[in-house]
């Protein structure tokens, strides 16, 4: 069974109604990144940061996977599919994908402030209890914080992702500007013989020759690509 590796960014979930961060009118226009997505911002005003992610979590309850997410889930009938996502939502899982690596963390989880990547203190929140308050403590006694990789923090799963990308038979990029590192650097690890497909309605500059561009949104692009992949 051929291995498909998919790298997804904010454009993957935009059709589901989740605000992108970088586009005009996106979340970084409304909330300074330094305040809500850096360790310094968190230590300066933890209440603001907890409230920001509590709101993001509640938004998850109002959105659903789009057709693009569902097609990726359906491809598991024909291929071994691994999703490497920069998104912190759970729409890939809800769309039927069973092997998802979240490079930048997961919105539905919380962790220890002192040891964010200690698996003993990472906890999945139930949808009816998405509110995290000051005074809610992790197992090590420190304040619970969002299980999100903030700017300036290491990306602990990048080595796992690199290993998976090296073994890809087909590589698909959906809805990412390819400007955010280290995720954008994953393209360098795709073997030269492996076909690369890029789905995005906007023009995306990539440093690799021979990339097959599908200038469509996630759902329409995946409809077209699924047809092509199943014909080959």
Catalytic residues, by residue number, are: 104
Which stretches does DSSP call E strand in 56-99?
A: 80-85
Q: Rounded distance, CA 34 to CA 176, Å?
A: 21
The sign of the dihedral angle between the CA atoms of 122, 123, 129, 135 is negative
Residue 183, number of CB atoms within 10 A of its CB: 21
Strand partners, 197: 172, 212
What is the Cα 136 distance to its own chain's centre?
A: 26
Distance CA 224, CA 219 (A): 9
**Alpha carbon distance 87, 204 (integer Å):** 18
SS3 146: strand
Dist CA 5 CA 161 (whole Å): 10
Q: Which of helix, strand or coil describes residue 108?
A: strand
Q: Which residue has tokens 């329409």?
A: 220
Q: What is the DSSP letter of 216?
A: S
């Amino acid at each position: 069974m051929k291995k498909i590796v998919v790298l997804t960014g904010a454009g993957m979930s935009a059709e589901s109604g989740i605000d992108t961060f970088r586009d005009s009118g996106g979340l970084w226009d409304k909330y300074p990144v330094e305040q809500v997505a850096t360790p310094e911002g968190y230590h300066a005003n933890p209440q603001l940061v907890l409230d920001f992610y509590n709101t993001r979590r509640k938004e998850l309850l109002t959105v659903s996977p789009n057709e693009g997410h569902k097609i990726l889930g359906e491809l598991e009938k024909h291929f071994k599919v691994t999703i490497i996502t920069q998104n912190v939502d759970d729409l890939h899982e809800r769309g039927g994908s069973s092997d998802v690596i979240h490079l930048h963390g997961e919105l539905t989880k919380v962790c220890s402030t002192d040891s964010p990547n200690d698996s003993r203190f990472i906890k999945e929140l139930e949808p009816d209890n998405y509110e995290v308050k000051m005074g809610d403590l992790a197992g090590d006694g420190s304040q619970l914080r969002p299980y999100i990789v903030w700017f300036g923090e290491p990306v602990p799963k990048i080595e796992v992702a690199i290993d998976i990308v090296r073994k890809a038979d087909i590589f698909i990029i959906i809805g990412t500007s390819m400007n955010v590192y280290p995720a954008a650097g994953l393209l360098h690890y795709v073997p030269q013989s492996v076909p690369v497909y890029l789905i995005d309605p906007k023009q995306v500059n990539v440093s690799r020759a021979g990339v097959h561009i599908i200038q469509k949104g996630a759902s329409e692009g995946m409809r077209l690509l699924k047809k092509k992949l199943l014909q080959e």
